[in-house]
Structure 1
Amino acid sequence: MSIDPSSIPNFGGQQPDPQQASGPAGPVIPDQDLVKQLLDQMELKYVVDDEGDLAAPWEEFRTYFMFRGEGDQRVFSVRTFYDRPHSIDEKLPLLESIDDWNRRTLWPKVYTHTHDDGTVRLIGEAQMMIGTGVSLEHFVSSTVSWVRASIEFDKWLVEQLGLEKDAGSGSDADAAAEADAADAAAESGTEADASGKDADDQPGEDTGKS
């Protein structure tokens, strides 16, 4: 299966030239190769970590594109780890802020993770059941929206808490794409090191690092 570039919402960079989609008309089962193709079309750099998960790195966060489960229970998860540390004393106002975000937005749903040293970091996540197949257009538009939302959340939190953001912050792939996407989207983002990818799996989830 392949992605029709004309079906990808503008991510802030140069839009690829439209071409005829060559993929199947019916439902597809997305995989990592499809996500790589989408990230290429979005002109975003990515890496594959030691555990085989795909990640798009930014300066302040890293977004992982993970597949978990088997058969009908297979899940696609876009999970963002925000690298900005917060002290344990800041946790209460931080929770109040992300509660407000979670009430008013569809994705990503954001939660905290408190490390052993007392440092608090944020994780955002959106998930899609893909075990029985999904529309390629739905998969593409959802994934692009989730990435935009992850970026917008970081921008929103900086404004909400009066945090200072590095002037040079931006995508390793394209800093201009991040800025344009953040202005255009109405959603959010995250980074952290790969070792914490499964630290905050919620009960009933099958999307964490195994």
Structure 2
Amino acid sequence: MGFFTKPGAEPVRTNAPVTRERIKELLEAAEWRVGTDDDGDVYGIWDSHLFYFFLMGQQDEILQIRGRYAGTVPLSEQTAVLPFLDEFNRDRIWPKVYSRPDDSETGIYSEVSTDLEHGVADDQLDQLLKCGIFTGIQFFDHLSEAHPEWAPQTEDASA
């Protein structure tokens, strides 16, 4: 309770285990389109970037929000992007950002992970989901500004 908060004025919070269903419900409540893959993992696309919401750990108690950059970084540029990623990670707490080679290009990822072993209230889970999405998008925008040659291609609305 805060110093100036009257008793009984606080919202009632009930912690419950994090589940894929709760994640999907909260994202849909924000009127975002999401889907579920064959493994039951929830995913969606924000600003052209694909985000997945994984549950990990022995009891699915760790929430991991992983975004994949929609731009194209050629495999030949993987070592060129590493100092940029390192600087970002050094200066910020989250999201963690990294690269890894995919089939024909270098995948760039953002990641926010949280241990929710003791459960989480809906408003807290909603905040974590938004944090993972929006900090990932901020990083992807930062990367596109620094390297416009890698930025996602946008469709021309006048065409």
Q: Which amino acid aligns with 1:132?
A: H
Identity %: 22
Which ranges in structure 2 are unaligned for 5 or more consecutive residues?
A: 1-10
Contact 1:27 1:135 (C-alpha < 8 Å) held by counterparts:
yes
Q: Which amino acid aligns with 1:104?
A: D
Aligned to 2:4: none
Aligned to 1:25: 13
Question: Offset at 1:93?
Answer: 2.4
Contact 1:28 1:133 (C-alpha < 8 Å) held by counterparts:
yes
Alignment equivalent of 1:150, drawn from 136, 141, 148: 136
Contact 1:60 1:83 (C-alpha < 8 Å) held by counterparts:
yes
SS of equivalent residue, structure 1 residue 132 = coil
- For residues 12-91 of structure 1, what are the structure 2 equivalents within 5 Å? 25-58=13-46, 60-71=48-59, 74-91=61-78
Q: Distance in 2 between matches of 1:68 and 1:91?
A: 28
Q: Within the alignment, does 1:115 sit opposite 2:131 as a pair?
A: no
How many matched pairs?
145
Structure of greater Rg: 2
Contact 1:56 1:63 (C-alpha < 8 Å) held by counterparts:
yes
TM-score normalised to structure 2 length: 0.78
Question: Offset at 1:76?
Answer: 0.9
Give the structure with the larger strand fraction: 2
Contact 2:43 2:53 (C-alpha < 8 Å) held by counterparts:
yes
- CA offsets 1:87-109 (integer angstroms, 9 cap, x no match): 23312221111112112222221
Aligned to 2:153: 166
Q: Which amino acid aligns with 1:93?
A: A
Which ranges in structure 1 are unaligned for 5 or more consecutive residues?
A: 1-20, 170-210
Contact 1:97 1:160 (C-alpha < 8 Å) held by counterparts:
no
Q: Which amino acid aligns with 1:133?
A: G
Q: Which amino acid aligns with 2:29?
A: Q
TM-score normalised to structure 1 length: 0.61
Q: 1:140 to 1:87 in 2, by over 3 A?
A: same
